[in-house]
Amino acid sequence: MGTVEPQVAADAQAAVTDGFQLVIDALKLNGIDTIYGLPGIPITDLTRRAQAEGLRVLAFRHEQNAGYAASIAGFLTQKPGICLTVSAPGFLNGLNALAHATTNCFPMILISGSSEREIVDLQQGDYEEMDQLAIARPLAKAAFRVLHAEDIGVGVARAIRAALSGRPGGVYLDLPAKLFAQSLDAAAGRRSLIKVVDPAPKQIPAPDAVQRALALLKGATRPLIVLGKGAAYAQADAEIRALVERTGIPYLPMSMAKGLLPDTHEQCASAARSFVLPAADVVMLVGARLNWLLSHGKGKTWGGKGHKDWGGQKFIQVDISPQEADSNVRIDAPVVGDIGSCIAAMLAGLGNLPKPPADWLTAIHDKKTANVARMAETLAKNPSPMNFHSALAVVRDVVRSNPDAMFVNEGANALDFTRSIVDMYKPRKRIDVGTWGVMGVGMGYCVAAAVVTRQQVIAVEGDSAFGFSGMEVETLCRYNLPVCVVILNNNGVYKGTDVNPRGGDVAPTVFVKDARYEKLMEAFGGVGVYATTPAELRKGMEDALRSRKPTLINAMIDETAGTESGRITSLNPSAKKK
């Protein structure tokens, strides 16, 4: 498609508008300023014209990464992240991220161009023919198609409202090719647009639900608060901090809730997780689901006898979704509403709640102290070759000195060790594999984190994890983003030591040994660093943060380090048999 820029200016004054223009106008009217996408038929001109109209259009090398960027932009901003793709294959590439957004409760809109409806529906073999709406629907919170230019305003408004209201999620918006060229009287076009009013209305909890929860807390002798990424998303940081500090209840942050209060906070029980979960008598979940990441609220993790047995805890669950309670175990006090309103209501009703009994706090404190001391010993070692711990001791220091930096993390061991070793100090700094434990979010997240927050970004990546989005280092360089990628390179998936007993091909978990990932970054003008010692890693990271140049540090670590599947070996059927 040829460039249409002169046309843009002409149309601005003209009495007619078209589908392209109305999509852009509808997004702008609703405060959307960034599109993450990949051009091609039929949306190439949409990307050009959006850019000409002042939207930031970030083009990726693969739609999946654009989609992950959009999803995390939604999490960070409470505005739906927009991913724009071409039809069929581009749409399918973006679909993974759409499902990811829905699963993780991130607001996102996947907008895909699609082929001619008449041909698609008769299955006559159109260019990139696919019934995209039907395919997206089960993976999205909502899915819409717009056939007429005068309905674009409604379509965009419905997509925004669906993505943001209640439990946020991924929304699909199907825009057939024909739509873009349709023209419409400009005044009628303007009238057809909708500026969404109050897209995520406050949901005030019922007073009796709040009372029920407070009564449970009052009767608790070993209370615990679990903060999830819903709490981070809600941006109710002051209320959450006030509740934790006024009640004096120990809290456990889930991975992406780390930093909501600093991980170094005296009430943080992360370093005593395996002690507090089974020992607690009343657990208040705030924006966290009792899914696999919390062992479904039962079993040995929670002090149950067998793997499906209830541990005896009473649960309070603060969540915007009324359907979430009882999904795994009985919830004694569901508090349904948005977290800001729920926590504010609880604070208002708190009265003079006594602090938790001293023996509970002392027991946690002692466990923490012992575990932290043990970890400090491990971190102080300086083995050769470098291992996860000696490398992450460096990362921990650098993050402590740069608490505003965004932090992206994926891998198996590279994820689990990092989560427990690297403290977060501020809300919504840590973004990672989320509810699915998915590999591939890395570079997409880096782009969005840099663009949305304008802060430095540090990414700690397993070598396998990095590979899923590695080509986007070109994107980092193209937009000159201040991203420092650290690959903890142990030559394979989990580790690099598997051997094929029959000889021939290497084992499925093994990669090229000593792969020089840093050269990938150099190929596009960024800085590559090959680091074999903690000192080299530290220098590489500090230089990257100082220069703000896209940097990739290939941190070579012991290929025997790590365990199969990291900390979730128990979920791995073959490992279980062993």
Binding site for ligand ADP (CB under 6 A): 104-105, 167-168, 228-230, 233-234, 254, 256-257, 287-289, 291, 293, 319-321, 324, 338-339, 435
Q: Does 411 bind ligand TZD (CB under 6 A)?
A: yes
Q: Does 494 bind ligand TZD (CB under 6 A)?
A: yes
- Measured over the CA atoms of residue 390, residue 391, residue 396 and residue 401, the dihedral's sign is positive
Query: Applying CB under 6 A, which part among 70-78, 117-125, 213-221, 408-416 lies near ligand TZD?
Result: 408-416
Q: Where would I find the H helices in 30-87?
A: 44-52, 63-77
User: Mapping DSSP to helix (H, G, I), strand (E, B) and coil, where does residue 243 land?
Assistant: helix
With CB under 5 to 8 Å by kind, the binding choice for 321 among ligand ADP, ligand TZD, none is ligand ADP
Give the nearest distance from C-beta 317 to ligand TZD in angstroms.
27
Q: Does 442 bind ligand TZD (CB under 6 A)?
A: no
Residue 43 contacts residue 113 (beta carbons within 8 Å) = yes
Q: Does 392 bind ligand TZD (CB under 6 A)?
A: no
Residue number, nearest CB to ligand ADP: 230
Residue window 421-440: x/- pattern of binding to ligand TZD, with contact defined by CB under 6 A:
----------------xxxx
Determine the Cα–Cα distance for residues 411 and 224; give it in Å rounded to an integer.
29
Give the nearest distance from C-beta 292 to ligand TZD in angstroms.
12
Burial class (CB in 10 A: 0-12, 13-18, 19+), 109: buried
Residue 465 contacts residue 511 (beta carbons within 8 Å) = no
What is the secondary structure of 193-212 as a DSSP string?
----SSSS---PPPHHHHHH
What's the gap between Cα 181 and its chain centre? 35
Q: Does 412 bind ligand TZD (CB under 6 A)?
A: yes
Choice between 63 and 463, CB closer to ligand TZD: 463
Among 39, 462, 526, 550, binds ligand TZD (CB under 6 A): 462
Determine the Cα–Cα distance for residues 418 and 391; give it in Å rounded to an integer.
10
With CB under 5 to 8 Å by kind, the binding choice for 65 among ligand TZD, ligand ADP, none is none
Choice between 145 and 298, CB closer to ligand ADP: 298
Q: Does 562 bind ligand TZD (CB under 6 A)?
A: yes
Q: Does 490 bind ligand TZD (CB under 6 A)?
A: yes
Question: To which residue do tokens 């599109």 refer?
Answer: 35
With CB under 5 to 8 Å by kind, the binding choice for 85 among ligand TZD, ligand ADP, none is none
Query: Applying CB under 6 A, which part among 14-22, 123-131, 296-304, 411-419 lies near ligand TZD?
Result: 411-419
With CB under 5 to 8 Å by kind, the binding choice for 288 among ligand TZD, ligand ADP, none is ligand ADP
**Torsion angles phi and psi, residue 265, rounded to 5:** -60, 140
Give the nearest distance from C-beta 412 to ligand TZD in angstroms.
3
Q: Does 465 bind ligand TZD (CB under 6 A)?
A: yes
**Cis preceding-peptide flag for 42 (omega within 30 of 0):** yes
Give the nearest distance from C-beta 340 to ligand ADP in angstroms.
7
Choice between 36 and 494, CB closer to ligand TZD: 494
Query: Applying CB under 6 A, which part among 26-34, 74-82, 258-266, 410-418 lies near ligand TZD?
Result: 410-418
Among 493, 521, 527, 553, binds ligand TZD (CB under 6 A): 493
Determine the Cα–Cα distance for residues 118 and 123; give it in Å rounded to an integer.
9
How far CA 564 is from CA of 386, 437, 561, 574, 575, in Å, comes to 19, 14, 10, 10, 8
Determine the Cα–Cα distance for residues 499 and 509; give it in Å rounded to an integer.
9
How far CA 247 is from CA of 45, 183, 251, 332, 352, in Å, comes to 56, 60, 11, 20, 9
With CB under 5 to 8 Å by kind, the binding choice for 228 among ligand ADP, ligand TZD, none is ligand ADP
Residue 412 contacts residue 460 (beta carbons within 8 Å) = no
With CB under 5 to 8 Å by kind, the binding choice for 257 among ligand TZD, ligand ADP, none is ligand ADP
Return the exposure string of 186-204: e unless at least 16 CB atoms fall within 10 Å of the residue's CB, then b: beebeebbbebeebbeebe
Choice between 153 and 253, CB closer to ligand ADP: 253
Bridge-based pairing of strands 282-286 and 251-253 is: unpaired
Interacting residues toward ligand TZD by CB under 6 A: 411-414, 437-440, 462-465, 488, 490, 493-495, 562, 566
